């Protein structure tokens, strides 16, 4: 008798799991917040990926530029936006790591207020100098700069 009850309970649990399936996502357009003005590198990336992402998700992706204060205005806007999966921030190393260290009154705590989803782009960075500066290595440039403060 106990075995029959356990089997019935197991069948009931399996049947209930199907009824508790997740809601489809997305059901409305997604707001891709770019914390910089239109025309910059982040905006260009957003405008390249938004149609591809929209096609993959079957929903429109709206690029929402919120530029100003080195990206801080857009980051603060994204932190205040509803966290329902329909507001996504296109952050970068500047907005998520450099600005919190640079600005005393940074509007958010990136590790607490955001969850990294994926790396969208890998952007190599180069240190370039005017030809009149004699430095040929980073070490030489640092020495040159320290010898000429200001």
Q: What is the DSSP string of the chain?
A: -HHHHHHHHHHHHHHHHHHTPPPPS-SS-EEEEESS-TTSHHHHHHHHHHHHHHHHHTS-EEEEE---GGGHHHHHHHHHS--SSSEEE---HIIIIIHHHH-TT-S--HHHH-----------------TTS---SHHHHHHHHHHS--
Mean pLDDT to the nearest integer, 32-55: 97
Q: How confident is the model at residue 50 (pLDDT cuts 50, 70, 90)?
A: very high
Domain 30-113 maps to which CATH number in 3.40.50.2000, 1.10.1380.10, 3.40.190.150, 3.30.1440.10?
A: 3.40.190.150
**Per-domain residue ranges of the chain:** 30-113
In this prediction, residue 23 carries a pLDDT of 76
């Amino acid at each position: 008798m106990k075995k029959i009850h356990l089997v019935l309970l197991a069948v009931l649990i399996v049947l209930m799991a199907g009824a508790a399936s997740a809601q489809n996502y997305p059901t409305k357009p997604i707001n891709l917040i770019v914390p910089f003005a239109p025309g910059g590198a982040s905006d260009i990336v957003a405008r390249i990926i938004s149609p591809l992402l929209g096609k993959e998700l079957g929903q429109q992706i709206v690029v929402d530029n919120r530029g100003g204060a080195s990206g801080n205005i857009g980051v603060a806007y994204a932190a205040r936006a509803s966290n329902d999966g329909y507001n996504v921030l296109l952050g970068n190393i500047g907005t998520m790591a450099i600005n919190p260290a640079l600005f005393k009154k940074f509007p958010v705590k990136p590790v607490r207020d955001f969850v990294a989803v994926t790396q969208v782009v890998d952007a190599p960075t180069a240190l370039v100098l005017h030809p009149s500066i004699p430095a040929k290595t980073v070490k030489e440039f640092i020495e040159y700069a320290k010898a000429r403060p200001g």
